[in-house]
């Protein structure tokens, strides 16, 4: 439907601008808050424009952190988050592409059951199985470790389904041509399936990286050693001031910093991301 009426155009723009303002306002407030001192923000009127303490606040967070809440410097927590998000994203992609490969291209006994088992895990996100998972991870001695942070979040039904869908769109003749060309199953996987799923992997990487980065409850639960705090869980700890007001200006500075890596990933991989989600021709 393409219409050219100036009135409607203006209305559409108005609605979009309103949407942008609603989404962007909290981010703006967070940024503004991170450039003021602690007292400016809790004195009653919320400032709407950046203050003069930007460099001071950010360098303090990057160098030292907030010692009263026991969190390490932001740099350390960002690194932890990055490692966790990368492990989760790469692990999920690797496991789900292999399981989708098995489900689509091999006929083995109990294939249907395997498929349904994967399907059922969709109904069991981390939050639901958090107590038993914690017990297992604790039993394995993985508390306060990168493995403990990422492994329980890696198994993924959604990604498996996405790759299954991708593989089902591959023409059968391609598989047959490869068979006649003497490519065994793993060779076919490496030489043909992997390169052809490249854009889908990229799209999934973006989604999963953000999923991993934003993990909150699980890291909060299994990290007690400040060495392993992730940034999202760290923000929560900072906001929990025991004896006094939270230092909002520092919390907000950390929040702004925490937003940057996911934004960078989305912007950097935007092209591949869109291609991977809309491309159908193989």
Partner 1 sequence: MASITLDNLGKIYPGGTRAVGDVNIDIADGEFIVLVGPSGCGKSTLLRMVAGLESITEGEVRIGDRVVNRIEPADRDIAMVFQNYALYPHMSVRQNLAYGLKNRRTPRAEIERRVTEAAEILQIGPFLDRKPRALSGGQRQRVAMGRAIVREPAAFLFDEPLSNLDAKLRVQMRLEIKELQRRLRTTSLYVTHDQLEAMTLADRLVVLNGGRVEQIGTPLEVYRKPASAFVAGFIGSPAMNLLDARAVPHLPGTAHAGTIGIRPEDLSIAANGPIEMEVTAVEELGAQRLVHGLTGGEAITITLPPDAPLSETLRLGFDRGNLHLFQRETGARIN
Using CB under 8 A, list all residues that contact partner 1: 171, 173-174, 176-183, 187, 191-192, 195-196, 282
CB of 198 to partner 1, least distance (A): 8
Closest CA to 148 of 95, 205, 225, 64: 225
How far apart CA 273 and CA 137 sit, in angstroms, is 33
Q: Which is nearer to partner 1, 40 or 279 (CB)?
A: 279
Q: Which is nearer to partner 1, 5 or 107 (CB)?
A: 107
Closest CA to 95 of 204, 20, 249: 204
Closest CA to 150 of 98, 85, 207: 85
CB of 174 to partner 1, least distance (A): 5
How far apart CA 280 and CA 191 sit, in angstroms, is 20
Q: Which is nearer to partner 1, 63 or 191 (CB)?
A: 191
CB of 179 to partner 1, least distance (A): 5
**CB-count exposure of residue 196 (10 Å: 0-12, 13-18, 19+):** middle
- Token pair of 96, please? 């789900």
How far apart CA 22 and CA 26 sit, in angstroms, is 8
CB of 36 to partner 1, least distance (A): 53
Q: Which is nearer to partner 1, 191 or 225 (CB)?
A: 191
Give the count of beta carbons closer than 10 Å to the beta carbon of residue 114.
14
Q: Which is nearer to partner 1, 29 or 183 (CB)?
A: 183
CB of 107 to partner 1, least distance (A): 12
Q: Which residue matches tokens 């700890």?
A: 237
């Amino acid at each position: 439907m393409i219409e050219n009426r100036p009135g409607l155009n203006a209305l559409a723009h108005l609605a979009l601008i309103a949407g942008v303002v609603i989404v962007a306002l909290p981010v703006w407030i967070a940024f503004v808050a991170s450039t003021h001192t602690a007292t400016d923000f809790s004195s009653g009127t919320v400032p709407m424009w950046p203050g003069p303490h930007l460099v001071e606040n950010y360098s303090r967070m990057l160098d030292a952190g907030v010692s009263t809440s026991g969190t390490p410097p932001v740099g350390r927590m960002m690194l932890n988050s990055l490692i966790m998000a990368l492990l989760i994203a790469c692990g999920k992609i690797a496991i789900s592409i292999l399981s989708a490969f098995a489900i689509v291209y091999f006929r083995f006994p109990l294939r249907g059951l395997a498929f349904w088992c994967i399907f059922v895990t969709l109904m069991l996100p981390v939050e639901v199985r958090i107590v038993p998972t914690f017990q297992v991870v604790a039993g394995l001695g993985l508390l306060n470790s990168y493995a403990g942070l990422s492994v329980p979040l890696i198994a993924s039904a959604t990604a498996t389904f996405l790759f299954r869908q991708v593989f089902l769109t591959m023409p059968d003749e391609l598989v047959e041509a490869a068979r006649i060309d003497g490519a065994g199953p793993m060779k076919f996987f490496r030489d043909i399936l992997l390169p052809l799923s490249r854009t889908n992997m990229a799209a999934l990487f973006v989604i999963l990286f953000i999923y991993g980065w934003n993990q909150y409850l699980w890291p909060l639960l299994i990290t007690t050693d400040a060495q392993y705090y992730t940034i999202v869980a760290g923000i929560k700890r900072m906001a929990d001031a025991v004896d006094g007001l939270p230092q909002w200006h520092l919390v907000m500075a950390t929040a702004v910093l925490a937003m940057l890596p996911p934004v960078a990933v989305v912007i950097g991989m935007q092209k591949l991301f869109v291609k991977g989600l809309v491309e159908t021709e193989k």
